[in-house]
Structure 1
């Protein structure tokens, strides 16, 4: 996948629009100095209107400058984190340190887990709203919940927002999982449901704090343990968290409905 930085570089090289070239050069210069101007500041620096900055952002395949700025910040942070030198692998013993870190993180949010499980037991229904990156692990959780008699509705993060607006979320239970870069549609869904329901649980990262509205009653946890930048550890952490949620679910009604097939 081409990064936002590379897209902006390409706009400098290939674009015939001299105004866009000027904006692109300013952004790249700021990026290399660790500076991220607001849309108004960038417009002033380039002597253009804010609408021109929006048009430029769309030419970089972003919905607007807000998305472009967020993605640039993420790329900058990832570039600044020097990869740690890996210790020599010991093939004679298993390394369980990553499990300990993940488990400590999950257990630190036991209140969140118990509260979410309680709500699922009460509602017997939940909406899962994952970002593009977390869709696979959300589908895994969906299968677990369905097997325990929960009515699950999965929102694809690529869904047209107009479809979401046709659902009455007033009394609905919603779990939002926001990680990764492609979260624009999910951010818009949040902006919509913040006016409708307070029964929302959120799992996110420090990179997406600014995208999440502050709503009284919403319960939020951060993926912020020491290994959280690595996708494989993030997936394992979510799977562990969802396992503990599932172990607190009452599936009695499901067993009564379909029969208990266990041996007497």
Structure 2
């Protein structure tokens, strides 16, 4: 049986801003928050009719919205709840930040190279996954305060611009977490061919260890992998740490 999430994700990638695309993006957003709306709630949220939600469900290869919603809940439980239960141990604030500090220490070479390259090239392109877009905005604000030119690349609107940019003079940072990363993987492959300086922060689901030409930092701590809120919080802490280093390097 095909993944319903995958079918919905494919429907969200339509180049046109169709009703199906709007519904798909809302369902994916709700899914990341462990929220499963009723058909009436979803229709109202997306400004479409109940009939459109039914048609969308059939396009996602379900008999109707009731089946789609049920299968989504099952997929969420199978993929996230078990991992979450393993991570829900009580942990003190000191333990939390000791773990964070260890993570930074293990990836110090990555951070040094990232900061050095950003200072040298001055132009940074951020390619966040859907669920880490919030923390990417924070990073953009941090870097711009230190006179770096930052762009958060919009895959839906800016994809055609890729070939018009000289990537050899840019710093590229991809953040690969969650399940919406097929387009980002294509960006990664393109940047390698364009001889760009590529940095990747990613979950353990990705394997770049055999690629010697790309700088990789893995989100490998259980505290940061419970859900998208934890990952954004973890990344914001990382970006704040980068700012402290930039203050010292740029002064």
Shorter-chain TM-score category?
A: 0.5 to 0.7
Q: TM-score, normalised by structure 1?
A: 0.59
Match of residue 217 from structure 1:
213
1:233 aligns to 2:230 (yes or no): yes
* Structure 2 unmatched ranges of 5 or more: 8-58, 62-73
Match of residue 154 from structure 1:
152
Superposed CA RMSD in Å reads 3.4
Match of residue 83 from structure 1:
85
Alignment of 1:113-152 (within 5 A): 113-152=111-150
Q: Distance in 1 between matches of 2:183 and 2:222?
A: 28
Q: Distance in 2 between matches of 1:219 and 1:154?
A: 19
CA 87–164 in structure 1, closer or farther in 2 if over 3 Å, else same: closer
On the 8 A contact 1:128/1:175 being kept in 2, the answer is yes
Count of aligned pairs between the two proteins: 185
CA 97–122 in structure 1, closer or farther in 2 if over 3 Å, else same: same
* Structure 1 unmatched ranges of 5 or more: 9-58, 62-71, 253-264
CA 82–247 in structure 1, closer or farther in 2 if over 3 Å, else same: closer
Deviations 1:219-255 (A, max 9, x none): 0011011213223332222122222222232445xxx
Q: Distance in 2 between matches of 1:118 and 1:161?
A: 27
Q: Distance in 2 between matches of 1:174 and 1:85?
A: 32
Deviations 1:115-155 (A, max 9, x none): 11111111122111111111110110000111111111111
- Higher helix proportion: 2
Residue 202 (structure 1) shift: 0.5
Residue 104 (structure 1) shift: 1.9
Determine which structure has more spread, i.e. the larger CA radius of gyration: 1
